[in-house]
């Protein structure tokens, strides 16, 4: 069977989660496997999904409420053994220093721009050894 990549998307805003799914499409680049999404609207749900395993890339909304993706990213990098790479959605380009502080592996600005997002996601997926579906 062809491998698939599992991408966890965290945002309290269902519109932002939909933008991520649409920007990535079924396959963000020809040289990476198709993706399937796991959506989370709360930080505890993110931790629960990561504890289960099988997540290849985590996308975190830096503007989420009540806990933004930057603080959550830093927590995950501290607490999750072999935390998957994190793609952070930032509200402003000037927040890049916060993305560095959070230890995100990549960052793009909101609103989600499809080409930029798909490129960043594909880059993180290329570095992962993926499971067969």
Position 133 scores a pLDDT of: 40
Position 33 scores a pLDDT of: 95
Q: Are 38 and 129 in contact (CB under 8 A)?
A: no
The one-digit pLDDT tens for each residue of the chain (133 residues) are 678 999 999 999 999 999 999 999 999 999 999 999 999 999 999 999 999 999 999 999 999 999 999 999 999 999 999 999 999 999 999 989 999 999 999 999 999 999 999 999 999 999 876 543 4
Position 127 scores a pLDDT of: 86
Position 130 scores a pLDDT of: 54
Full set of structural domains in the chain with CATH:
5-126 (3.40.50.2300)
Position 80 scores a pLDDT of: 94
User: Is 65 in a helix, a strand, or coil?
Assistant: coil
Nearest to 124 by CA among 28, 25, 19: 28
User: Is 67 in a helix, a strand, or coil?
Assistant: coil
Q: 29, exposed or middle or buried, with CB in 10 Å at 0-12, 13-18, 19+?
A: middle
Q: Is the pTM of this model over 0.85?
A: yes
């Amino acid at each position: 069977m062809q491998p698939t990549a599992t991408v966890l998307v965290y945002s309290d805003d269902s519109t932002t989660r939909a933008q991520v799914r649409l920007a990535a499409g079924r396959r963000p680049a020809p040289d990476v496997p198709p993706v399937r999404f796991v959506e989370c609207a709360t930080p505890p749900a993110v931790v629960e999904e990561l504890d289960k395993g099988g997540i290849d890339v985590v996308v975190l909304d830096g503007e989420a409420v009540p806990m933004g993706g930057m603080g959550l990213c830093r927590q995950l990098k501290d607490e999750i053994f072999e935390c998957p790479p994190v793609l952070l959605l930032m509200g402003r380009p000037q927040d890049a220093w916060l993305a560095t502080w959070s230890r995100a592996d990549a960052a793009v600005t909101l609103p989600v721009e499809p080409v930029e997002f798909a490129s960043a996601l594909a880059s993180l997926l290329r570095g992962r050894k993926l499971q067969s579906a």
